[in-house]
Amino acid sequence: MNFTEETRRKGYRAAFVFIAFVVLLRGGLVAHAIYRDQPKDYDRWYKVARWCLQGRPLADPSGVEMLNLPEDDPNKPLVQYRLPPAFAVYIAPLGLLPYHVYVAVWYLLNIGCTVAAVALALKLVSGRWLPWSPLVLIVPVLGVLPFVWDDLHAGNTNLQLLALLMLGAYLASKHRPLWGGLAIGWAISMKLFPVPILAPLFAQRRWKILAATIIGSLLLTFVAPGIFRGFERNLRESGWWYARVIEPYLQSKQKRQWDRESVSVKNMSLYAGISRFTRPVDVLSGNVGRPGDWEGKKLYVNVVSLPQKAADLIFLGFVAACGLAIGVVSFFGKRPKHDLTPAVDFAIGMTFILIATPIAWAYFYALLLLPFVVAAYVSETYPAHPLGRLCRWACILGVLPMMLSPAPPLAAVGLAGWLTLGWLAVMLILRRRLEELPPRPVLSTAKEKPSADSPEAGSAPVASSHS
């Protein structure tokens, strides 16, 4: 779409006003929830930070999660802590703050991480902090808005993970794989959710950042926290955490934690969608986030009734097929000589994380930010090229369904997980044919408009100089 300087400014102004409105509205709703004593995960992380400062154990071999503090109401349930012990060390300084100050700091930290992630994604893809077309910002913001909104409400950590992953991708694109790997390793040490990105990094033959990620995650999980809590203690508690949280998922279904929630509409992963379609499970079971709404009601969406092992094999088949597709396109194909290659490669990694994880709450899908930015940029920069048209349709067909996917009826059929498969397919096609696109336009100043024959001006692309 062609933009004059005036319409461009108006577009960005409208986008910034909308983002500011969302931030203020969500902040007001968080404050209201705290006032009504409905703190979600804000309260959890504060207790974890204070528990860590007091030197108390974060886990024990019996599996009892005793994270309530002596001054807490004994009638309230114990706070559950299921993240690596290293994460508690990272957030421990926040326990020094008064509770309401901590909530404000944690909320602003998540806002800052979101802004940083968006800025890094735009810079990684377009080479500019603000691309010429405001749609490159507006479309991704709309696409991931429900998931960012959910994370800000819950006070969880996924926006921080998103910022670290985007930082790692950006540093890798600037030929700093060591620092990029440390950023991704830091994210893994906070939460194991990003671990599947290692497979695409291997397939893409990004050996330096892969090695840096593995080494960094091990150092930041087992060594760095030991400096503050003692190495022997940290290793012992990490072992207890593995036995209590990770090992049950590697054993039989009957021994897994969060069994009811794993198939409820709250879980939007591909695994949950497959399980609901292939097994007679009540998708309204577990905590769906709105107690009482589904009281006495049940919902089944399965089309066949298969054993749990069969459903697991179907899921593993999907993951293996996606991994094979990434391997065929990336490992056995040459790396495209194009400015967009790093962005597309890491967009593939982001989608694979979401596909491979068996547990994905709504806020996990904020990781689709980078695929949205890539698609929006290619659509706007190369509108006449077949890849530009493909990305345009991906944006058109992807934004509204992704925004609606957390709704219980759509979450019941696992819409977000199935759409993520589509995003992976789009990114793989783009990666396979990336050298067909002309080089990414480079503008000398922020106010300079693309020339009439530039791809950013909407003209037909010319032959690539990277053939």
Give Cα separations from 332 to 93, 211, 229, 340 (angstroms): 47, 20, 45, 19
pLDDT of residue 71: 55
Per-residue model confidence as pLDDT tens digits over 326-381: 999 998 878 889 999 999 999 999 999 999 998 888 999 999 999 999 999 999 99
Neighbours of 207 (CB within 10 A): 11
Does residue 195 fall inside a structural domain? Answer: yes
Give me the count of residues in the chain.
467
Per-residue model confidence as pLDDT tens digits over 394-443: 999 989 998 888 887 888 888 999 999 999 999 999 999 999 999 988 75
Does residue 456 fall inside a structural domain? Answer: no
Does residue 452 fall inside a structural domain? Answer: no
Does residue 443 fall inside a structural domain? Answer: no
How many distinct structural domains can be found in the chain? 1
Does residue 462 fall inside a structural domain? Answer: no
Does residue 278 fall inside a structural domain? Answer: yes
pLDDT of residue 321: 97
pTM (2 d.p.):
0.88
Packed helices 135-154 and 5-35: angle between N→C axes, nearest 10 degrees: 0
State yes or no: pLDDT of 107 exceeds 60: yes
Identify whether the C-beta of residue 43 lies closer than 8 Å to the C-beta of residue 72: no
Per-residue model confidence as pLDDT tens digits over 143-188: 999 999 999 998 999 999 999 999 999 999 999 999 999 999 999 9
State yes or no: pLDDT of 138 exceeds 90: yes
pLDDT of residue 147: 94
Give the span between the Cα atoms of 391 and 430, in whole angstroms. Answer: 9
Give the span between the Cα atoms of 118 and 108, in whole angstroms. Answer: 15
Does residue 445 fall inside a structural domain? Answer: no
Q: Which residues contact 347 (CB under 8 A, 6 or more apart)?
A: 370, 371, 374, 423, 427
Does residue 136 fall inside a structural domain? Answer: yes
Domain enclosing residue 56, as ranges: 5-290+297-438
